[in-house]
Structure 1
Amino acid sequence: MPAYVLVDAVQLDEEGALKYRELAEPSIHRYGGRYLVQGQVPEVAAGSWPSPDRVVTVLEFPDMARLREWHDSPEYQAAVKFREGSIELRMLFVEGKRAG
């Protein structure tokens, strides 16, 4: 069953955020992930959004085990060091439903 990472983020430091993305993106692909949405400002359909500076990213992985393997991997954890203080984010993991 596919698994998804939902990210709500705002950039605080451009240099650190760029380094984070440079390291995170190849790690995502290495563990079978792919971007469905990458750094887009959402259109708010109901309720409120915390800030117009916040962007959304959605990643898809083959399954939750592979998603967690990516998240805990040395490659991604190296990226996380640059994220701290550079990007404020909320990250959710959720299992999807197979089509059909």
Structure 2
Amino acid sequence: MPAFALAHLHTSKNNDDIVEYIDKIQATLDPYQGRFRVHGGTPEVIEGEWPGTVVIIEFPDVEHARDWYASPAYQEILPLRLRHLPGSAIIIQGVGPDYDPRRTAAKLREAAG
């Protein structure tokens, strides 16, 4: 099943470190089959608050995502972002193409008894 690395990054001014990070990140993703699905932009907030921007990177599975994040290549460039773009990041498993939320609701009803 696909997995996603998702970052909620707070707004910051661009600088040489950020440009270098963006320039180098794809090379760290390639060995793990990581592909950007969302990269920056201004989100349309329809509920709550969302200061900053979002980045979503898709991987074939959770293991690929974890291995990418822990890789020496990514860890080498990560400080370039952390120094200037505070935020939060997660890895989360996606759902398969046959996912149906009604099955999840049925399981929840059954568990509630």
Query: Shorter-chain TM-score category?
Result: 0.7 to 0.9
Partner of 1:31: 32
Aligned-pair CA distance for 1:11: 2.6
Q: Give CA deviations for 1:11-67 in whole Å, capped at 9, x if unaligned.
A: 3451111111122222112211101111121100111223xxx11111100000010
User: Is the strand fraction higher in 1 or 2?
Assistant: 1
Distance 1:6 1:57 in 2: 6
Partner of 2:94: 96
Asked if the contact 1:13/1:87 (under 8 Å) is kept, the reply is no
User: Is the helix fraction higher in 1 or 2?
Assistant: 2
Distance 1:27 1:49 in 2: 28
Show structure 1 runs of 5+ residues with no match.
none
Show structure 1 runs of 4+ deviating over 3 A.
Answer: none
* CA RMSD across the alignment: 1.3
Asked if the contact 1:3/1:62 (under 8 Å) is kept, the reply is yes
Distance 2:58 2:82 in 1: 23
Show structure 2 runs of 5+ residues with no match.
99-113
Larger radius of gyration: 2
Asked if the contact 1:11/1:17 (under 8 Å) is kept, the reply is no
Look up the SS of the partner of 1:70 in the other structure: helix
Report the residue type matching 2:8 in the other structure. D
Partner of 1:16: 17
Q: Percent identity?
A: 30
Report the residue type matching 1:97 in the other structure. V
Which protein, 1 or 2, shows the higher relative CO under an 8 Å CA cutoff with sep ≥ 6?
1
- The alignment's TM-score, normalised by the length of structure 1, stands at 0.88
